[in-house]
A and B are shown apart, each in its own frame.
Chain A
Amino acid sequence: MRAANLSFFAISAAALVLPLAVTNPYYLHTAIAMMVNAVLALSLNFILGYVGEKSLGHAAFFGIGGYTAALLALNLGVPAWGTLLAGGVVSGLFGLAVGFPTLRLRGPYFAIATLGFGAILQLIATNWTSLTKGPMGIPGVPPLAFAGLIFRNERPYYYVALLLLALAAYLTWRLAHSRIGRAFVAIRQNFDLAESVGIDTFRFKLAAFVLGTVLAGVVGAFYAHYTNFISPKALESYITLNVVTMVIIGGEGTLIGPILGAILVTLLPEVLRVAENFRLVIFGFILLLTIIYAPSGIVGLARAAWQKRGGERLA
């Protein structure tokens, strides 16, 4: 575990000094997008990865956070950090409303409900023009500011994104090593047995889902401030698919997996420079290969390789 600690500190240090060394805004923007994706992937990972319930409308919660922040900031003049909090709270309330009736049931109801919720929300964002300005989206979302300093370039946003990622990673790490995380995994591994050893499966499923939606809402609000813009595109189903891809190819129910997945899914199109329409085909293909040949994702492959070398079992 020494090596793991060392590499953790090395990566953290590198992440902290990166914006000082790299000034190219394109690189910084890519890094921010990567971290936003990583937070989003970690937020989905609670319910999809640890608990194992298929949540198929995650972009909706990202979008709710963005719209909440945009509307509060522009219409009511709520200061920037309050909007991040509000984005999380509103998104979490929607998560509660979707999860409460459907997570009680066994079977595909939750997956269908989240899928439908995502589609409905996108329709609302597109058509409720008096509130959302329709497909044009809402421009002019004010930038974040701290102590009178308005964030005008990428660098400060980079640090906020890093902070959010650290928060999401801490939450994941801390929960995974607690009774709560064990309950999540128990539900995924064996639902009936989890119930019979006293785990209130409904409550823990709901907690995992709502926690994830809160986090998705916060990062959605952040992204609206960062790009100064929110539109129904933020709620599109391909974003959900992207996030699901990140979690699965990285490794469901792990801390590192979704982060690696986010890096890969963010970088691949940038590196390949392929047409937008083609990305989905490629991601779909990668997803398929992963599910068939490496169901535990990159982390699973790495673990298997490590154990083959006779190394200690990774926690």
Chain B
Amino acid sequence: MPEQILQVSDLTIRFGGLVAVDGVSFSVPQGGITGLIGPNGAGKTTIFNAVTGFLAPTGGRILFAGQDVTRRKPHELAALGLARTFQHTSLFPDLTVRQNVWTAMHLALPETFWQVLATPPRRHPDGEQRVQEILDLLELAERADQAASSLPYGEQRKLEIALALAVKPRLLLLDEPAAGMNPEEAQRLTETIQQLRRLGLTILLVEHNMRLVMGVCDYIHVIEHGRKIAEGAPSQVAHDPKVIEVYLGRRGTNA
């Protein structure tokens, strides 16, 4: 069994009297793509926000690379190698594409306050090269000098992934990357995600789009009403009667 990069055990999140997530446990193995699926309001994004530090869980434990990271802040998790994208497009809108990626390289270019004040501005050839690599990988190089807010939707979502890659993640969490995409854009996104897998990245994918999930995931956890109801390989999950009933059966394949 490969090493588990992320282990979530008995995660519970309550908002007042509402139990949004009820004792969910799952783990993400090193390498490959794990999916977290479930109908709207199942609690997927709530789990996601707890894992990335944006939400303090009521109970349970989150281990990242063997370290207990429950209730750590998002920037601390980023420093440990956990990067995320957001469900709603989230960029630095007024900065150019290149400046966006530069800004996301924050952790890779440590400069202290005194270093900044005492030395003239210097170039960071390694950093610049890395930014270029990321732009090339996501086919954004031609757009490098455009403001992020001026990009077409599909490319904005790609830029989000570029920003997450700039963090040098050991685990990349994608929150509904295909949300709002047309089938063609979703297809291109699938190719991008496949490409990231080939680079050896470990990905946890929260997604609605079943075609995308079935197409790229190695293993899937199904959430419904804040509980885990099934897990397994895509073909297994697709034939699980419980899953068909609560998810696929009722909502169609959403493809």
Q: Which residues of B contact A180 (CB under 8 A)?
A: 111, 113, 116
B83 at the interface (CB under 8 A from A): yes
Q: Which residues of B contact A196 (CB under 8 A)?
A: 52, 54, 74-75, 78, 83-84, 86, 164, 167
Most chain B beta-carbon contacts within 10 A, residue among A175, A180, A197, A200: A197
B91 touches A193 (CB 8 A): yes
Q: Which residues of B contact A186 (CB under 8 A)?
A: 92, 103, 106
Q: Which residues of A contact B91 (CB under 8 A)?
A: 190, 193
Closest B residue, CB atoms, query A253: B94
Q: Which residues of B contact A190 (CB under 8 A)?
A: 90-93
Point out the residue from B54, B79, B95, B145 that lies within 8 Å of A192, measured CB to CB.
B54
Q: Which residues of A contact B73 (CB under 8 A)?
A: 195, 200
A107 to chain B, nearest CB (A): 16
How far, in angstroms, from A182 to B98 measured CA to CA in the complex? 12
B111 touches A197 (CB 8 A): no
B222 to chain A, nearest CB (A): 26
- Which residues, 164 to 203 on A, are CB-close (under 8 Å) to B? 171, 174-175, 177-180, 182-183, 185-186, 189-190, 192-201
B181 at the interface (CB under 8 A from A): no
B117 at the interface (CB under 8 A from A): yes
Point out the residue from B54, B121, B166 that lies within 8 Å of A197, measured CB to CB.
B166
How far, in angstroms, from A313 to B94 measured CA to CA in the complex? 13
A179 touches B95 (CB 8 A): no
Most chain A beta-carbon contacts within 10 A, residue among B90, B102, B103: B103
Cross-chain pair count, CB within 8 angstroms:
87
A197 touches B94 (CB 8 A): no
Number of interface residues of B (CB under 8 A): 35
Given contacts A171-B117, A185-B92, A186-B92, A198 and B102 within 8 Å (CB-CB): no
A174 touches B102 (CB 8 A): no
A179 touches B167 (CB 8 A): no
A304 at the interface (CB under 8 A from B): no
Given contacts A193-B163, A197-B167, A198-B106, A174 and B94 within 8 Å (CB-CB): no
Write out, one digit per residue, whether chain A residues 11-28 have a CB within 8 A of any chain B CB (1) or not (0): 000000000000000000
B75 touches A199 (CB 8 A): yes
Q: Which residues of B contact A294 (CB under 8 A)?
A: none
B111 touches A189 (CB 8 A): no
- Which residues, 202 to 228 on A, are CB-close (under 8 Å) to B? 207
B102 touches A182 (CB 8 A): yes
Point out the residue from B92, B107, B121, B145 that lies within 8 Å of A193, measured CB to CB.
B92
A15 to chain B, nearest CB (A): 22
How far, in angstroms, from A179 to B107 measured CA to CA in the complex? 9
A46 to chain B, nearest CB (A): 12
How far, in angstroms, from A139 to B92 measured CA to CA in the complex? 50
Q: Which residues of A contact B116 (CB under 8 A)?
A: 174-175, 178-180
How far, in angstroms, from A195 to B86 measured CA to CA in the complex? 12
B104 at the interface (CB under 8 A from A): yes
B219 to chain A, nearest CB (A): 24
A70 to chain B, nearest CB (A): 29
Closest B residue, CB atoms, query A296: B94
B121 touches A183 (CB 8 A): no
- Which residues, 66 to 114 on B, are CB-close (under 8 Å) to A? 73-75, 78-79, 83-84, 86, 90-95, 99, 102-104, 106-107, 109-111, 113
Q: A183-B103, A193-B163 are in contact. List 15 more A-B contacts (CB 8 A).
A: A177-B121, A178-B121, A179-B116, A180-B116, A183-B106, A185-B95, A189-B92, A189-B93, A193-B91, A194-B103, A195-B53, A195-B73, A196-B86, A198-B106, A199-B106
Task: Give the 9 A-B CB pairs with smallest separation, nearest first.
Answer: A198-B78, A195-B74, A198-B107, A189-B92, A197-B104, A178-B116, A179-B111, A182-B103, A177-B121
Interface residues of A (CB under 8 A from B): 171, 174-175, 177-180, 182-183, 185-186, 189-190, 192-201, 207, 313
User: 15 interchain pairs (CB within 8 A)?
Assistant: A174-B116, A175-B116, A178-B116, A185-B95, A186-B92, A186-B106, A189-B92, A190-B90, A190-B91, A192-B74, A193-B86, A196-B84, A197-B103, A197-B166, A198-B106
